[in-house]
Amino acid sequence: MLAGFGNRLGYPRPAMHVRMTALALLCAGCSASTSTATPTARQASPAAAAHTFKSTRFTITVPHGWRDATGDQHAVASVSASGQVLMLLVAEPTTLNEHIDVSVAAQPVPDDQLAGYLQSVAQSGATNLSQPRPFSVDGGTGIFITYNLMSTGGTLLQDQDMVVNHGGDTFDIVLNTAQADFARQVADVQSILSTWKWAS
């Protein structure tokens, strides 16, 4: 839980440095290689083919090049979300555990406080925060920001953090990737949003 804004309102927010450390450890566990962590081009594999992901809350089409890791409890725990992780997609192959996760916040965040909820990442070392901007998902509207973090291995990361309220819950959609891969992977997030269907 972050100190400051998020705590004053009582809305827990995952500590980004904890998230990044855990992700770096997960990545190390996924690969026996000791190569330097640098962004690499993905290659399509049968496991990375487009398919439908369905949770009890929403359905999406997983873009080519991404693997559903939602059933991997070790991977899900490494995300360090403050609420329940509903989906975890991992880029294949990846040296930095580039991923997209969707979680439900432990407590709903009122619409007029979503911007502060997002901007609280600055208290964990995030820099270059963009201004909150709107996005659409299955007839609803949320807001998002982008920001930079430095991985424990020294790679510059770029995240896009999106929040939307639906059915009394706050959904947090996060792209966590190397800055060098951001433009390509943010297009995959847009693909996910375009196929997103709420269950109710």
pTM of the model: 0.77
- Domains of the chain by start residue, with CATH: 5-31+52-198 (3.40.1000.10)
**pLDDT for position 49:** 55
**pLDDT for position 92:** 83
CA 60 to chain centre: 15
User: Which of 186, 37, 4 is closest to 100 using CA atoms?
Assistant: 186
Going from the C-alpha of 156 to that of each of 43, 180, 181, the distances in angstroms are 22, 8, 11
What string of pLDDT tens digits covers the 200 residues of the chain?
Answer: 222 223 223 333 344 433 433 333 333 344 333 333 333 344 444 445 569 999 999 999 999 999 999 999 999 988 877 789 999 999 987 666 799 999 999 999 999 999 999 999 999 899 999 999 999 999 999 999 999 999 888 899 999 999 999 999 999 999 999 999 999 999 999 999 999 999 98
Q: What is the side-by-side strand order in the sheet with 51-54?
A: 51-54, 58-62, 197-198
Cα dihedral sign, 19-136-118-86: negative
SS (H, E, C) 107-171: CCCCHHHHHHHHHHHHHHCCECCCCCEEEEECCEEEEEEEEEEECCCCCEEEEEEEEEEECCEEE
Residues 6+ apart with CB under 8 A from 36: 153
User: Which of 116, 100, 110, 84 is closest to 5 using CA atoms?
Assistant: 116
